[in-house]
């Protein structure tokens, strides 16, 4: 029979080779994306510069930008890559887009990285995502850009079923940035719009009960502001602009309460392939709209 020590060494060797292969494929995929943009680099650079000038000249930028990061798996499938690499490249793109937001001075950004529905996917995929969240939370907690720009990071959603190491990493990130007054970055993870509304109702009813109010009194006095005060984003302006990638034309539960007057932009490109020109086009489209707020 194989000795336990030999078996552990063999398993570690297999794991190391697998991680090395994944790293090489991820590096190759990144290079392919860079080469894609490099082919049209002169035209791309000129067009991006012109778009950026137009966007900055208009001056009206979203005060709260919502981003639905959709299409990681389909991007990987279209490129013949493993599913997990789609998520890895999606993380890379999120870092890149956050840099664009910082450069433009957008004060609040909410990115949706995992819905409550997503947690019912293949357990192996969910486990990989959880490792990604833990790793990226720890990376962000020491990211020089976060601290130099005083970015306050909050994780919003339901995390009670997350592994302990994930919630610990998210908590540490929030604590390290809690006193910052720069851009607010909300990471919607384990998030669902219906669940958020239910949680808000529960909190309001609990507070009212603690104050000695009866159910009939609460019902008689109930106002939308009462629930707004208990949303995950309480105290933050509602999103005025929401972008969703991958060609899906729906919200899928993203900020259902807060998006009542939001402007929407649906982009066909999958999230890992989302370019700066795509971002700037979306912002210019937002600037060309006349917001009426139902009037």
Residue tagged active-site, from 70, 143, 240, 278: 70
pLDDT for res 14: 41
Q: Give the gyration radius of the chain's Cα atoms.
A: 22
Largest CA distance in the chain: 78
Active-site residue, 118 included: yes
199 annotated to a ligand binding site: no
CA-CA distances (angstroms) from residue 270 to 5, 117, 122, 182?
A: 45, 19, 21, 29
Per-residue b or e along 145-162, where b marks 16 or more CB atoms closer than 10 Å to that residue's CB: ebeeeebbbbbbbbbeeb
The total of other beta-carbon atoms located within 10 Å of residue 111's CB is 18
Q: Are 227 and 202 in contact (CB under 8 A)?
A: no
Determine whether the annotation assigns residue 263 to a binding site.
Answer: yes
Q: Does residue 203 have a known ligand-binding role?
A: no
Query: What pLDDT does 6 receive?
Result: 57
116 belongs to an annotated ligand binding site: yes
Q: Which letter does DSSP use for residue 259 in this model?
A: G
- In tens, the pLDDT along 4-55 reads 555 555 545 544 444 555 555 556 565 555 565 555 567 777 888 889 999 9
Report the interhelical angle of 83-104 vs 4-39 (nearest 10°). 50
Q: Binding residue per annotation — 70? A: yes
- How high is the pLDDT of residue 27? 60
pLDDT at 294: 75
Q: What is the pTM of this model?
A: 0.85
Q: Check whether 75 is labelled as a binding-site residue.
A: yes
What is the CATH code of the structural domain delimited by 40-287? 3.40.1180.10
Neighbours of 192 (CB within 10 A): 23
Which regions in the chain score pLDDT beneath 50?
1, 11, 14-18
pLDDT at 43: 75
- Is 70 part of the annotated catalytic residue set? yes
87 is in an annotated binding site: yes
Known binding residue 244? Answer is yes
Report the pLDDT value the prediction gives residue 1, as an integer from 0 to 100: 47
Contact of 272 with 71, CB cutoff 8 Å: yes
Q: What is the pLDDT of residue 34?
A: 58
- In this predicted structure, what is the pLDDT of residue 44? 76
The catalytic position among 37, 54, 118, 149 is 118
Task: Annotate 143-209 with DSSP letters as a single string.
Answer: -HHHHHTT-EEEEES--TTS-HHHHHHHHHHHHHHTT--S-EEEEEEEE-HHHHHHHHHHHHHHHHH
Neighbours of 214 (CB within 10 A): 10
Reduced to 3 states (helix: H, G, I; strand: E, B; else coil), residue 191 is strand
Q: Give the pLDDT score at 69.
A: 97
């Amino acid at each position: 029979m194989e000795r336990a020590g030999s078996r552990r060494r063999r398993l570690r060797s297999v794991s190391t080779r697998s991680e090395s292969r994944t790293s090489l494929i991820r590096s190759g995929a990144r290079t392919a994306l860079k080469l894609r943009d490099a082919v049209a680099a002169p035209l791309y650079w000129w067009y991006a510069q012109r778009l950026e000038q137009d966007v900055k000249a208009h001056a009206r930028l979203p005060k709260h930008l919502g981003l639905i990061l959709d299409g990681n798996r389909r991007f990987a499938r279209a490129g013949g890559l493993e599913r997990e690499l789609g998520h890895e490249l999606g993380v890379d793109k999120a870092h890149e887009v956050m840099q664009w937001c910082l450069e433009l001075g957008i004060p609040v950004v909410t990115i949706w990285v995992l819905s409550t529905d997503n947690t019912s996917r293949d357990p192996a995929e969910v486990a990989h995502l959880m490792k990604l969240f833990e790793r990226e939370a720890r990376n962000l907690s020491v990211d020089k850009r976060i601290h130099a720009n005083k970015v306050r990071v909050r994780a919003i959603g339901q995390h009670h079923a997350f592994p302990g190491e994930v919630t610990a990493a998210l908590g540490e990130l929030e604590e390290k940035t809690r006193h910052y007054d720069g851009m607010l970055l909300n990471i919607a993870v384990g998030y669902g719009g219906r669940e958020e509304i239910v949680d808000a109702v529960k909190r309001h009813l609990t507070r009212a009960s603690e104050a000695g109010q009866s159910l009939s009194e609460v019902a008689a006095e109930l106002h939308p502001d009462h629930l707004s005060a208990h949303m995950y984003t309480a105290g933050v302006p509602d999103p005025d602009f929401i972008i969703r990638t991958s060609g899906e034309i729906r919200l899928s539960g993203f900020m259902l309460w807060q998006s009542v007057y939001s402007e929407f932009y649906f982009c066909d490109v999958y999230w890992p392939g989302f370019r700066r020109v795509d971002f700037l086009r979306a912002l210019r489209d937002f600037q060309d709209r006349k917001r009426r707020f139902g009037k």
